[in-house]
């Protein structure tokens, strides 16, 4: 049997939850959207953003990312790294990398075990990681010899305009405050610096086909962005959108290989893929 879900952490039984307003537009008006075990998603009546409501409080939420999560990251790190590398190739990273590399540091937020940091370091970058899972961060520092701050980006003691390139893959959908996160990233970037943001695409074909059986509709994802809602959010945060890329037409095992091959290529060409990458610039 093929699972339609990605990894979902072990959720403590005594987690506390809080009702929130829409993080994008501030509206408190919403209607039920998707219901799954241990999570309830709503659709904002004003801007159409989909988010969990109620949401776990942060002090409880962060306990999900401990030893079990580390083993999941370690087991899948090669596959995750390859997807991140291919995503950078899609936006022709090597063309604009040399100038940015000369001007500042590379920051990977949610860097897991540090494989992408190590790769960038080998390419000549001065690197820095941020990772909330202490076991993953310690592994990256010990095995890959890369600097990783253990905690959240908001807790990290980085000076403003330190980084010329910031990367965050499959992170923003986990955050209780995506708006505050983008404000912090903008402050840390040098003027003209680039930001690569990757997250599941609720406006993609698979999400529309599968609804609450979509593999990214899980309790750990507090926000399910569409291209429109994420575009609005990053623009409101001050970023200029350089490029939007999607990929993943249908998950492996949900269709014959020949159909998957066609859908994957069409999704990448026409923008209805399962995952989306936003290539942004601080202006």
- Tell me what pLDDT residue 120 has: 97
- Tell me what pLDDT residue 203 has: 97
Assess if residue 34 is contained within a domain. Answer: no
Assess if residue 226 is contained within a domain. Answer: yes
- Tell me what pLDDT residue 279 has: 98
Please count the structural domains in the chain. Answer: 1
Opening angle at CA 94, ends 93 and 100, nearest 5: 80
Assess if residue 170 is contained within a domain. Answer: yes
- Tell me what pLDDT residue 31 has: 97
Assess if residue 64 is contained within a domain. Answer: no
Pairing type for strands 55-56 and 50-52 reads unpaired
Assess if residue 51 is contained within a domain. Answer: no
- Tell me what pLDDT residue 103 has: 84
Assess if residue 107 is contained within a domain. Answer: yes
Assess if residue 12 is contained within a domain. Answer: no
User: Which 3-state string (H, E, C) describes 178-233?
Assistant: HHHHHHHHHHHEEEEEEEEEEEECCCCHHHHHHHHHCCCCCCCCCEECCHHHHHHH
Hunting for tokens 């159909």 — which residue is that? 259
Token pair, residue 224, equals: 């399910």
CATH label of the domain that carries residue 168: 3.40.50.150
Assess if residue 129 is contained within a domain. Answer: yes
Please report, in tens digits, the pLDDT of each residue of the chain (283 residues total). Answer: 223 335 556 566 688 999 999 999 999 999 999 999 999 999 999 999 999 999 999 999 999 999 999 999 999 999 999 999 999 999 999 999 999 999 889 999 999 999 999 999 999 999 999 999 999 999 999 999 999 999 999 999 999 999 999 999 999 999 999 999 999 999 999 999 999 999 999 999 999 999 999 999 999 999 999 999 999 999 999 999 999 999 999 988 889 999 999 999 999 999 999 999 999 999 9
What is the pTM for the complete model shown?
0.93
Q: Which domain holds residue 166?
A: 80-282
């Amino acid at each position: 049997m093929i699972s339609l879900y990605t990894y979902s952490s072990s959720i403590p039984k005594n987690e506390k939850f809080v009702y929130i307003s829409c993080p994008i537009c501030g509206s408190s008006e919403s209607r039920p959207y998707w219901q799954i075990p241990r999570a309830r998603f709503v659709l904002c009546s004003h801007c159409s953003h989909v988010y969990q409501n109620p949401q776990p409080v942060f002090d409880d939420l962060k306990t999900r990312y401990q030893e079990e999560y580390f083993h999941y990251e370690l087991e899948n790190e090669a596959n995750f790294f390859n997807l991140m590398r291919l995503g950078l190739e899609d936006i022709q990273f090597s063309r604009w990398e040399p100038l940015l590399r000369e001007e500042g540091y590379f920051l990977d937020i949610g860097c897991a075990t540090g494989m992408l940091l190590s790769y960038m370091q080998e390419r000549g970058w001065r690197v820095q990681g941020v990772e909330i899972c202490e076991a993953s961060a310690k592994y990256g520092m010990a095995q890959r010899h890369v600097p990783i701050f253990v905690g959240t980006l908001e807790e990290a003691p980085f000076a403003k305009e330190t980084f010329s390139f910031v990367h965050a893959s499959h992170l923003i959908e986990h955050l209780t405050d995506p708006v505050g996160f983008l404000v912090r990233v903008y402050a840390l970037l040098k003027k003209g610096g680039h930001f690569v943001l990757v997250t599941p695409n609720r406006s993609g074909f698979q999400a529309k086909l599968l609804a609450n059986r979509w593999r990214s509709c899980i309790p750990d994802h507090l926000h399910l962005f569409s291209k429109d809602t994420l575009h609005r959010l990053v623009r409101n945060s001050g970023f200029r959108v350089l490029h939007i890329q999607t990929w993943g037409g249908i998950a492996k095992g949900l269709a014959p290989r020949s159909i998957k091959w066609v859908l994957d290529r069409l999704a990448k060409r026409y923008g209805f893929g399962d995952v989306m990458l936003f290539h942004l610039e601080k202006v």
